[in-house]
Structure 1
Amino acid sequence: MFAVGMGVLLFAFSSQNRANSGNRTRSGLICALAVGVMIAMWADFATEFTWPNLQHASHFYAVVSTPFPLLLLLAARASKVRAGATIAAATYMFIYIGMILVLPLFPAHPKLAPVYHPVDHMVPPAFPLLLIVPAVAIDVISWLFTRSSKSIAQPPASPGATLPRPRWWRDWLLALLFAAVFLAIIFAVQWPFSTFLLSDGADNRFFARSGHWPYFAKPGDWVNRFWDWDNDPITFKGMALAFLRAFISARVGLLLGSYLLRLKR
């Protein structure tokens, strides 16, 4: 599955770079949508670490800081469309919300014991992460950086003057900035939002507080409380590890994005 997704991603970006100017925006949109599908795939791989019940634990922030900055920055840098990261994050959320709304419409019954939680329909995933919020910030920062870079790289006034060379350390500083912004925003939005997802206000078809539990999960008050609150609290060490992961992920995302901009075949 992952290999197929990567193949589609490479094909989409190579087609974008070979497209003429009239089709480049449409090709860039397709690339951003393809990255959104990859985000949804990675979110599926990380499901067991990203339940709403785990979003007050330190390990959750280390997990989400590993794949998602890479993919969001890849979309922001390599897709030739405005708001590439936002489009990718919105695609991921649209896929998950679509599954939440559509899957329960199909009847299904468990055929393998033990059945602790009777269900009569297909079970959807939990509500998606609010990645669209840090994605908007990434797009804004990318736009501001591109604008400032263009103003710095204006043609020289005299014929003999040379253009300034691009500084190699800029992407490293950008990776630090993106990592800090991503981690700060995802903490600010997911901490209170996970509290809401475990409350009675989320017990409906859209947020699916109680709709995503499988048939082998024993009912109890544990489904509506936070786990690992005592064993894995938010600490400076835990958040430093999450920041390190976000920094490495962001730097790799910028590097891959620059490579995909040059990919032709």
Structure 2
Amino acid sequence: MESTIPSSFSPSTEAVRARSIDWRLGIPTYVYAVVFASLCIVWGLLWDIMWHISIGRDGLFAPPHLVMYVGAVVSGLFSGYQILSMTFRKNHPERAGSVRFWGIFYGSLGALYCVWGAMAMLTSAPFDDWWHNTYGLDVQILTPPHTVLVLGMMMVQFGAMIGVLALQNRTRSQTLANDLDQRRASRLKLLFGIAAGLLLTVLYVLLSENMGKWLMHNSLCYTTAAIAFPVYLLAVGRASLLKNPLTVITFVYMVTLLIPNWSLPLFPATPKLGPVYNPITTYQAFSFPLLLIVPAFALDQLMKRYKGNDWILAGLAAVVFMVLFLAVQWPFGEFLHTSPYARNWFFLSNAWSYDSSPDWKYRYKFHPSLLEPPAVFFKNFGFAILYAAISARIGLWWGNWMKRVVR
């Protein structure tokens, strides 16, 4: 007996179509694309740092740069397509809830950030190449072309986070009537946690010169952390719908940082720029992440239990974050910098750049000039708690704004 089912609707075709819908769970493809682009940017940046401390010389199309360019192109193309689709399809289902700009275009807020960020990143590439050809090698991180690049990178990553956030926030007041809705809501929560963790990783990298293991017994490390981390952590913690958002976000940060730091040293690398004081043969790791996950877990518990005034919450959060950060990072910094048990592939303390002497007497101990008298350290630490309270209050305000983003 012949089948009466048309070939276009055969069970196998329907199964393929169902699987195609299933993996996205109704979430726009561009959202997955921009989160992937954010990951490319982070890992390209980390590879670029390890390239510089292991090889030295690079160029416009060096492999780490190409990975970052992939992130820029992917975010720009997918976000640009979403904007053009909303603009020229007047019956687009998401157009009514989009942002209109320049009087012509329609798009989500996240897509706009991603397009602007991608344009800035791609503009910075030839600008940086011209800068090197004109002025030679960089002697500092934030040269004008690098500043444009960093702003573009963080804008793409912020756009990825906001793109997920808008979709997540639409589920806040919805009744999740079926299994698909519940799975979609769970996927959006996780995607927001990943996007926020990736942006946290870049924030740490940009500030890492003030928080290296050699500075973990100096108040500068804790002052920098007090200014930078509470504002971000409390903002994303308030905006997220995860059960323990800050624990998840800081875990993503640690994994994102550790994967290239553990994997790249397995590959060969030789210096191509002198002077070479340390004749290495493999990539050198960047750094082991800060133990932010410990104070982050405590902040999660505080934010779940305390529902009072945000000014009081900011003060409590500042004390909790700073005290726990000091309690774990001070001894861990001692371990990383001085212990022979940290000089391995896991803790990465044996990594050393090609242009640094391996026999430097302070390679594995704190430099006296970076050690402060206890009175000076605790005075500065007290100010750091104050800075953390201000930072936390701004973060809570920012988080309240992010909870309202639905476009």
TM range (shorter): 0.7 to 0.9
- Asked if 2 retains the 8 angstrom alpha-carbon contact of 1:57 and 1:232, the reply is no
Instruction: Give the corresponding residue for 1:58.
Output: 219
Distance 1:32 1:130 in 2: 17
176-185 vs 237-246, which moves further: 237-246
With the length of structure 1 as denominator, give the TM-score of the two structures.
Answer: 0.86
- Give the counterpart of 2:289 among 125, 128, 131: 128
- Asked if 2 retains the 8 angstrom alpha-carbon contact of 1:29 and 1:79, the reply is no
Shift of 1:54: 0.6
Name the aligned partner's letter for residue 10 of structure 1. I
2:200 is aligned with 1:39: yes
- Asked if 2 retains the 8 angstrom alpha-carbon contact of 1:77 and 1:257, the reply is yes
Query: How do residues 108-187 of structure 1 correspond to structure 2 at under 5 angstroms?
Result: 108-145=269-306, 149=307, 170-187=309-326
Instruction: Give the corresponding residue for 1:8.
Output: 160
Gaps of 5+ in 2: 1-152, 177-181
- Asked if 2 retains the 8 angstrom alpha-carbon contact of 1:24 and 1:80, the reply is no
With the length of structure 2 as denominator, give the TM-score of the two structures.
Answer: 0.57
Runs of 4+ in 1 over 4 A off after TM superposition: 231-234
Shift of 1:18: 2.3
- Give the counterpart of 1:217 among 334, 356, 364: 356
Instruction: Give the corresponding residue for 2:402.
Output: 260
Shift of 1:243: 1.1
Instruction: Give the corresponding residue for 1:229.
Output: 370
Instruction: Give the corresponding residue for 1:157.
Output: none
Superposed CA deviations along residues 12-61 of structure 1, whole A, max 9, x for unmatched, are 21121124542223212211111111111011001211111110001110
Which one scores higher on RCO, CA 8 angstroms, separation ≥ 6? 1
Q: How many residues align?
A: 242
Superposed CA deviations along residues 76-105 of structure 1, whole A, max 9, x for unmatched, are 211111100000000011112212211102
- Give the counterpart of 1:250 among 387, 392, 402: 392
20-29 vs 187-196, which moves further: 20-29
Shift of 1:262: 0.7
Distance 2:165 2:196 in 1: 10
For residues 111 and 85 of structure 1, do their structure 2 counterparts lie closer, same or farther at Cα, with a shift above 3 Å needed? same
CA RMSD of aligned residues (A): 1.6
Superposed CA deviations along residues 211-260 of structure 1, whole A, max 9, x for unmatched, are 2x211122212111123434576523311221122112211111111111
Percentage of matched positions with identical amino acids: 37
Structure ranking higher in helix proportion: 2
Partner secondary structure for residue 370 of structure 2: coil
- Give the counterpart of 1:106 among 248, 263, 267: 267
Distance 1:249 1:114 in 2: 42
- Give the counterpart of 2:332 among 182, 190, 193: 193
Distance 1:240 1:231 in 2: 14
Partner secondary structure for residue 227 of structure 2: coil
For residues 126 and 117 of structure 1, do their structure 2 counterparts lie closer, same or farther at Cα, with a shift above 3 Å needed? same
Partner secondary structure for residue 65 of structure 1: helix
Distance 2:371 2:231 in 1: 30
Distance 1:96 1:30 in 2: 18
Instruction: Give the corresponding residue for 2:110.
Output: none
Shift of 1:179: 0.5
- Asked if 1 retains the 8 angstrom alpha-carbon contact of 2:197 and 2:253, the reply is yes
Superposed CA deviations along residues 161-186 of structure 1, whole A, max 9, x for unmatched, are xxxxxx7xx11110000001000000
Distance 2:396 2:234 in 1: 6
Shift of 1:113: 0.7
- Asked if 2 retains the 8 angstrom alpha-carbon contact of 1:14 and 1:263, the reply is yes
Q: Which has the larger radius of gyration?
A: 2
Distance 2:236 2:245 in 1: 5
For residues 261 and 48 of structure 1, do their structure 2 counterparts lie closer, same or farther at Cα, with a shift above 3 Å needed? same
Partner secondary structure for residue 283 of structure 2: coil
175-184 vs 214-223, which moves further: 214-223
